Amino acid sequence: MREARVWVLPGLGADSRIFRNLEFPWSATYLEWILPEQGESISSYSDRLMAPYDIQEHDLLFGYSFGGIVAQDWASRHQVQRVVLLNSLHYKTPLRPLFRRIAATGVLNWAPEGSVRRFIFFMARLNSRPSAHFEGVLEMMEQFPCDYYRWVLKAVLHWDRPAPLCPVDSVTSDWDVVFPEAQASGRSWTLSHATHLSFLTHSKEISILLKEKVDPMLS
């Protein structure tokens, strides 16, 4: 049996370049997004996305933001050793009131084309420090059409939140305006003075957490 491998999922619209400063204590394979089919659920999407990969039971899934939601959903039907979230929505954690209101109003069904992506970019800029890397993240997010972002938001707001078949570790940020901190537990950690884009500013701390807190838990 080969050693545990980590399968890494980026945030919505981003790709593996956002993780260039992270150091994983395991061999890593970086997954890239595919376009969703019309009306597709997160469960169907995650199965289709990950079907080509030889993900084994002793492997880990690491998901940032939307990638963590996809990882948890897939792990509710497929056995892996662990799911690790970075600035993502833990399946037991409620959405922020703003997003619950967006879901209740149905605004995503009629919002003008382009407005959804502008909203996402606005949320990304909140509390974030300008930098070349940050602008590069926004530039890579331009690669997807507006309908992709509309689908992601609708899918997240109406996610069924199935429980993964494995433990879930969560790393969150105290200045994250997108997703709230996970409920306090022995397997959750909060980065201080970090935003939703913690990989830009706290890559060293995240790498240490993976090595010192997550890796010792693996069999």
* From 4-8, 104-108, 124-128, 202-206, the region with the lowest mean pLDDT: 124-128
The mean pLDDT of 21-26, rounded to a whole number, is: 96
**pLDDT, average across residues 91-98:** 90
Global confidence as pTM: 0.92
SS3 assignment for the chain: CCCCEEEEECCCCCCHHHHCCCCCCCEEEECCCCCCCCCCCHHHHHHHHHCCCCCCCCCEEEEECHHHHHHHHHHCCCCCCEEEEECCCCCCCCCCHHHHHHHHHCHHHCCCCCHHHHHHHHHHHCCCCCCHHHHHHHHHHHHCCHHHHHHHHHHHHCCCCCCCCCCEEEEEECCCCCCCCCCCCCCEEEECCCCCCHHHHCHHHHHHHHHHHHHHHCC
Q: Residue 164: what pLDDT?
A: 98
pLDDT tens readout for residues 155-199? 999 999 999 999 999 999 999 989 988 776 789 999 999 999 999
pLDDT at 115 over 90: no
Choice among 9-23, 42-56, 90-104, 161-175 with the minimum mean pLDDT: 90-104
List of domains in the chain: 5-217 (3.40.50.1820)
Q: Is the pLDDT of residue 130 over 80?
A: no
**Per-residue pLDDT at 126:** 66
Whole-number Å distance between alpha carbons of 188 and 75: 18
CA 148/CA 17 separation, integer angstroms: 20
pLDDT score, position 127: 61
Q: What percent of the chain has pLDDT over 70?
A: 96
Look at residue 102 in the predicted model and tell me its pLDDT.
80
Is the pLDDT at 143 greater than 90? The verdict is no
The stretch 82-104 carries a mean pLDDT of 90
C-alpha distances in Å from residue 140, one per residue of 19, 115, 144:
13, 18, 8
Contacts of 85 (CB under 8 A, 6+ apart): 63, 64, 68, 71, 72, 168, 169, 170, 171, 172, 182
CB neighbours (10 Å) of residue 59? 22
